Structure 1
Amino acid sequence: MFFITLISGILITISSNSWLSAWMGLEINLLSFIPIMSNKENIFTTEASLKYFLIQALASSVLMFIIISKSLFESMFSIISQYITNIMVVSPLLMSTGAAPLHWWFPSVMEGLSWMNCFNLMTIQKIAPLMLISYTIKLNMFLYSIIVTSVLIGSIGGYNQVSIRKILTYSSINHIGWMFAAMLMGEDMWIMYFLIYTLLTLTIIYIVKPMQISFINQIMFMFLENKIIKFLMFTSLLSLGGLPPMLGFMPKWIIIQYLTHNSHILISTIMVTLSLITLYYYLRITYSSFILLNSQPTWITSVSKNNPNMISIMLTSLSMFGLLGSMICFNY
């Protein structure tokens, strides 16, 4: 029931024609996600849900205050430059998405959630605020600063992390920066990027969730009995990092082409350089699992050697060969 109202809140927000109805949709979405996050058997989920509620309540309050002030004091806001007004409206939405530099709550909340709730927080919960940002944000230095800051924090923040959740968190912040860059091209491009990111994240979550993997040192022992699942896992990771010729590289390639063709050479160079650091996270995980040898631990969940998960195989195959299919579609 809560998931239905959660989706309803998103639909209300993205289809609204006024800020008040958009705000109501955000609140419905928030109040629906809090019960989904909570788990009586795990105290960390309660703490994470409380943190998430406080942050989202703060962002919603600031957004509502700005909306009411803009309506009541329209003459005053007409004096303020459009640039300042844009920053005031977009900032609470950036906090809702966890974009840098308003990302401080994101890693700690992710650490207390189950894997499926992590997936919801990294993908579904970003739809409504990202859509509002795409409606509102203008092409200016503020957008460029958010792009560079998100890509920078997402790359540097996860450099020495050992928690898989935090690595995916900072990778998500990095991808948010790329989504903002995709907004320069239009609504269709950033939605396509978001869908590809959602697919790749779902693939990884679907593989690690049954194994109860949370840290890199656990990955050293992961899938010792099933080499196929092990290969699928790290193919998905490298695709999420944007390694060609996999599916995750395709939207980044299109964005880089757009930026270079529109004389944004500096920002495209910065984004590509910092994304290489993000790719290093996944290469480090791959090295830890394939190169380092260790004995089988007692806590590992056994996976049948002869029955690799068919859904995992299908999702990973799509991430591997999606770029080839996309290139064929674009050429024709």
Structure 2
Amino acid sequence: MLNNSIKIMFFFILISGLLIIMSSNSWLGAWMGLEINMLSFIPLMSNDNNMLTTEASLKYFLIQALASSILLFLIILSSVNENMFTMYFSLTKTFLATPLLLKSGVAPMHWWFPSVMEGLSWMNCLILLTIQKMAPLMLMSYTINFNNYALYMIITFTVMVGAIGGLNQTSLRKIITYSSINHLGWLLMAMKMSENMWISYFLMYSLLTSTVISIIYTPQISLINQVFQLTKNKIIKLMMFSSLLSLGGLPPFLGFFPKWIVIQMMLINKISILSSIMVIMSLITLYYYLRISYSSFIMMNSEVKWNFQMNNKISKTSLVLTTLSILGLINLTMMFNLF
């Protein structure tokens, strides 16, 4: 993507759409930013070497256009009943959150997410998992104070779908997708607690997702059985598996830190039953990451010796990100103890 000037231009337009949403003080301006963000991402998805991108871009366009049209209808409806296009109205907050939930891929409106991810390159997957989620989540934070029971049901269903959906998958794209759906449930709960908490959670989630995809991008791994072909460099295996376990939330790594904060705040607010469900579902996501890494951790694992074409170079970016993922929790603990 970085070698194509047209795609670089569309990437900057995508970022400009995100900045419009951040700086907008009306729902109509936020809707315009969402449209710029969507229409600039579709050309980035196109790839002549992969025929699945056409199907993925069409699915993405139809879903996002449907959600945008519903959002515009609700904005106009609310402006007729209340204070024009301002962000400060109380009516139809639950309805306004619905198209935003559809845009971000929260269960039960997640059906488009795994199939779109399966047809994208790894760099486009990274954009869809991180940058494209910022806008709907940011707008969702304005409407999060609706009925608690409805929100808790959405969070429960989201973490359950994200945990159970990835159990029978062999594609790494779908595994990371269902893990992202599980993280969206945690993000919604962090959003319910405070604004700073969900922003911190999202930044750490984006860092860990970038770490995993930067490691996978170099050898171009797509399936679980291709992981065992990384025979030339054992450091890549260690980096990949430690980053996956960190993304799953294993305590020694950085991925446990945001979940730890959310669990603590939920227990303070006496939401113990839902916190137990979320922890159990998070353990299931950790299981299918362990399933990938366990066979390579043991000594008697089988490795293919005849594959010499896979790229086993270590990029400096993935090495730095993996170091942050492994040692991040230790550094944060030392900082809190010192200051």
Following TM superposition, by how much is the alpha carbon of 1:87 offset from its aligned partner in structure 2, in angstroms? Answer: 1.7
Note if 1:201 corresponds to 2:209.
Answer: yes
Alignment TM-score, normalising by the size of structure 2:
0.91
Distance in 2 between residues matched to 1:163 and 1:288, nearest whole Å = 17
Stretch of structure 1 that moved more, 316-325 or 136-145: 136-145
**Other structure's SS at 2:193 match:** coil
- Structure 1 residue 42, shift from structure 2 partner: 1.7
1:86 aligns with 2:93: yes
For 2:309 and 2:241, locate their aligned partners in 1 and report how far apart those are by CA, in whole Å. 18
Write the deviation string for residues 160-181 of structure 1: whole angstroms up to 9, x where unpaired.
1000000000000000111111
Match of 1:45 among 50, 53, 59: 53
What does residue range 77-116 of structure 1 map to in structure 2 within 5 Å?
Answer: 85-116=92-123
- Note the 1:117-132 alignment, pairs <5 A: 117-132=124-139
Counterpart position of 2:317: 311
Check whether the contact 1:229–1:309 (CA below 8 A) recurs between aligned residues: no
User: Does structure 2 conserve the Cα–Cα contact (< 8 Å) formed by 1:211 and 1:300?
Assistant: no
- Aligned equivalent of 2:245: 238
Residue 74 of structure 1: how far off its partner (Å): 4.2
Opposite residue 114 of structure 1, the aligned amino acid is: S
Task: Provide the C-alpha distance between the structure 2 equivalents of 1:243 and 1:102, rounded to a whole number of angstroms.
Answer: 28
Secondary structure, in 3 states, of the residue corresponding to 2:141?
helix
Contact kept in structure 1, 2:236 and 2:312, CA below 8 Å: no
* Range with greater deviation from structure 2 (290-299 or 210-219): 290-299
| 1:85-113 deviation per Cα after TM superposition (whole angstroms, max 9, x unaligned) | 12210000000000111000000000000
What is the match of residue 249 of structure 1? 256
**Does the CA-based 8 Å contact 2:107-2:181 persist in structure 1?**
yes
Q: Give the structure 2 partner of residue 78 of structure 1.
A: none
1:93-140 Cα offsets, whole Å, 9 max, x none, are: 000000111000000000000000000001100000000001111151
Cα RMSD (Å): 1.7
TM-score, length-scaled by structure 1: 0.93
Matched ranges for 1:1-332 at <5 A: 1-74=9-82, 85-138=92-145, 140-221=148-229, 223-291=230-298, 292-298=301-307, 300-304=309-313, 308-331=314-337, 332=339
Aligned-partner Cα distance in 2 for 1:302–1:255: 39
| Runs of 5+ unmatched residues, structure 2 | 1-8, 84-88
Q: Secondary structure at the match of 1:136?
A: coil
Return the letter of the residue paired with 1:219: V
SS in structure 2 of the partner of residue 135 of structure 1: coil
The CA deviation at 1:158 is 0.5
Q: For the Cα contact (< 8 Å) 2:228–2:304, is it kept in 1?
A: no
> Take 1:35 and 1:317, find their aligned partners in 2: how far apart are those partners?
34
The 2-side partners of 1:297 and 1:37 are apart by 33
Q: When the two structures are aligned, how many residues end up with a matched partner?
A: 322
Q: % of aligned pairs identical?
A: 61
Give the unaligned 5+ runs of structure 1. Answer: 76-80
Write the deviation string for residues 219-246 of structure 1: whole angstroms up to 9, x where unpaired: 122x211011110111100000000111
2:150 and 2:221 map into 1 onto residues whose CA distance is 38
Deviation for aligned residue 1:313:
1.9
Asked whether the 8 Å contact 2:78–2:92 carries over to 1, the reply is no
Question: What's the offset of the Cα at 1:326?
Answer: 1.4
Alignment correspondent of 2:3: none
